[in-house]
Amino acid sequence: MVRGGFVLSSLEMADKLVIWGAGGHALVVADIIRLVGKYEIAGFLDDINPQRRGTDFLGCRVLGGREVLGELKRRAIDHVIFAFGDSEMRLELSRLVFDMGYRLVTAVHPRAILAPDIRINAGTVVAAGAVINPGTVIGSNVIVNTSASIDHNCFIQDGAHIGPGTRLAGGVLVKRGAEVGIGSVIARSVTVGANARVGAGAVVLDDIPDEVVAYGVPARVVRKV
């Protein structure tokens, strides 16, 4: 594209995006954003460590915390994606940025395998090697992490985290804010309750209630969240 006699690169024409988070998961999210090439990363937000403001991270700057959102909006940076694991906080902050007029970005790694009829809602991150099969619906602000496999007709509600290497059989329901730990296996038509935590390597054969921690082979409820 030519503007004012200058040839603009695709990056210069891209919408600007701020990534909220500046830790390990932000490495993954930034990698996806750069591979896809639709957005330019304007910087990162860190609400936990205010001393990081102005420091370098992944070739960009940590711009501050939520206190800079108004300033960023005035600079026409109005796209945001969350890059941290806390499910409850992702849902809470999504309401904050929505009320300020920000738009949530969805990030899908080019090497994820997606059936053509699935639905993925705003703010969700799908990492490399993930497989999502036909008839599945993924809510908003979900993480489908590296090499996770979600089979047909599953429903993953808002804010859930499907950990690396997990395996969900057909018809699984993962409710709002639930976290399914790395390497877990969820049997066919099982429900994982809202805000439940399934431990690493668990084999879940029966429904898991809301607000509990469960792990083991087979998985058993061990305590409330």
Active site residues: 152
DSSP 49: -
The helix or strand, by DSSP H or E, that contains position 190, with its residue range, turns out to be: none
- Is the backbone of residue 150 left (phi > 0), alpha (psi -120 to 50) or beta? beta
Round to whole Å and give the CA distance between 153 and 121. 16
Q: Are 172 and 162 in contact (CB under 8 A)?
A: no
> Closest Cα to residue 178, out of 203, 135, 143, 145?
143
Q: Which two tokens stand for residue 28?
A: 């993954």
Q: What 3-state DSSP class applies to 143?
A: strand
Q: Report the b/e string of 9-47 with b at 16+ CB within 10 A.
A: eeeeebeebbbbbbeebbebbbebbeeeeebbbbbbbbe
| 129-133 own/partner pairs: CB under 8 Å, 24+ apart | 133/170
